Amino acid sequence: MKNKTAYFGVFTSLALILSYVETLIPISFGIPGIKLGLANLVIVIVLYTYGGKEAFLLSVTRILLSGFLFGNLSMILYSMAGGVFSLAIMVLLRRTGGFSIQGVSIAGGVFHNIGQLLLAMMIVETYQVGYYFPVLLISGLVTGLLIGIVSSEVLKRTAFFEKSRISIEEKETEAMISYIRGELAGLERDKAIVDVQGVGYGIYMPEQSLSLLGPIGCEVKIHTYLNVREDAMQLFGFLTRDDLEVFRLVIGVSGIGPKGGLNILSCLSADELKFAVLSGDAKAICAAPGIGKKTAEKLIIELKDKLDLKEMLEPRSAAAAEIPSDGRNGDIQTEAVQALVALGYGNAESLKAVRQVTEYTSVEDVLKEALKKML
């Protein structure tokens, strides 16, 4: 909130400076009402960065301050008529999503002049002022296009630097707290409280992980992800590194934040989520609160190439790891999964059953044992 207020102050100051600079430009177009509209550059940037409400507040503030500082009442009235009308049109066009920044800016320039022209007609009580419309239309098109081009370039460059800054911050915060080891001091609905030398850390965890922590007072080790927001810092924890890595993959999908990722891993274990992704089971992922069908399908598309079926099928127990492998095991298991699916079993169900089979020499061996577990 503090950063947003500071940015608003900076943008307001910049808009005032541009308004003042425009009054110093010794170029006269010879026709009343034609201006470059330099301050509109800031309005367009704020509209696309923060939204319509912020852009409206900035526009009104800029008009009032510039009018009182180096203008008059007439200037305030005409600027307000053009500015409010122009911004209303730009907000509507932006919400449709069918116009580029340049297109929205051009519309803003044109309707800014229309707003001022309508006010002039009301004041002088004659429609003859309307003869200015063709000229004001052309000037609005030209100045709106110029403002749109510059705004677009500014937004592209600031977006690049913002993404770079966020990327650096994420890498720094990920390494800040890798895990926490301490005494389990308490459990809440969605988080654990871990006491580390007198400091209590609240760590959000999946429901399945919370149930496995043990009794209050026992020592726990939780692998953590630190999420840094503008107004808060949150820790998300997992019992294994693998669970944490899956969580990072999930929140790397556009549209899924840390809370959404936690909801998914509360509904499905890391392995179950992998099975669901590899088998294209969007329905299983949709069972998580706040996750719709489109989001689930997007997650499957983005993560499918990042997960390896053969790696998923490898047993993880220490005893199973000692079983000799001739390099054909992955192919045998894959064929077994395909055979089970052909028999009518679900993809995720087949993957899970085959993975539980640790001793085999052929596809038939895997099928026999997998069917026993499934039945």
Dump pLDDT digits (tens) for 77-117.
Answer: 878 888 888 888 898 888 877 788 888 888 888 888 888 77
Label the pairing between strands 199-204 and 233-238.
parallel
How does DSSP assign 131-150, residue by residue?
GGHHHHHHHHHHHHHHHHHH
Q: Which two tokens stand for residue 151?
A: 């705004």
- Residues 66 and 155 grouped into a single domain: yes
- Residues 133 and 33 grouped into a single domain: yes
CA atoms in the 13 A half-sphere facing the CB of 357: 27
Identify the pLDDT of residue 203.
94
Residue 310 resides in a domain: no
Identify the pLDDT of residue 25.
64
Q: Pick the closest to residue 110 from 73, 72, 148, 74 (CA basis).
A: 148
- Residues 270 and 324 grouped into a single domain: no
Identify the pLDDT of residue 201.
92
Q: Which residue has the tokens 């669970």?
A: 243
Identify the pLDDT of residue 325.
41
- Residues 64 and 150 grouped into a single domain: yes
Q: Is the pTM of this model over 0.75?
A: no
Identify the pLDDT of residue 204.
94
- Residues 18 and 145 grouped into a single domain: yes
Domain count, the chain: 3
- Residues 156 and 180 grouped into a single domain: no
- Residues 287 and 362 grouped into a single domain: no
User: For residue 157, what is the domain's CATH number?
Assistant: 1.10.1760.20
- Residues 92 and 13 grouped into a single domain: yes
Residue 309 resides in a domain: no
Over its C-alpha atoms, the chain yields an Rg (Å, rounded) of 31
Rounded distance, CA 373 to CA 68, Å?
81
pLDDT tens track, the chain, 375 positions: 455 677 777 888 887 888 777 767 655 544 455 566 778 888 888 888 878 888 888 888 888 888 787 777 877 887 888 888 888 889 888 887 778 888 888 888 888 888 877 777 777 776 665 666 777 778 778 888 888 888 888 877 765 445 444 444 455 455 567 889 999 999 988 899 999 989 999 999 998 888 888 889 999 999 999 888 767 788 999 998 888 999 999 998 888 889 999 999 998 888 888 888 877 888 889 989 888 888 899 898 888 877 765 555 454 433 333 333 444 555 677 788 778 777 777 766 777 777 778 777 788 888 888 887 776
Q: Pick the closest to residue 112 from 168, 39, 8, 15 (CA basis).
A: 39
- Residues 181 and 132 grouped into a single domain: no
Residues spanned by the domain of 54: 2-170
pLDDT in tens, 35-85: 667 788 888 888 888 788 888 888 888 888 887 877 778 778 878 888 888
Kindly list the distances between the CA atom of residue 90 and the CA atoms of 43, 105, 111, 280, in Å, as whole numbers in the listed order.
Answer: 10, 7, 9, 41
Which class for 87: exposed (0-12), middle (13-18), buried (19 or more C-beta within 10 A)?
buried
User: For residue 338, what is the domain's CATH number?
Assistant: 1.10.8
- Residues 161 and 189 grouped into a single domain: no
User: For residue 252, what is the domain's CATH number?
Assistant: 2.40.50.140
Q: Which two tokens stand for residue 132?
A: 């200015």
**Euclidean distance between the first and the last CA atom of the chain, given in angstroms as a whole number:** 57
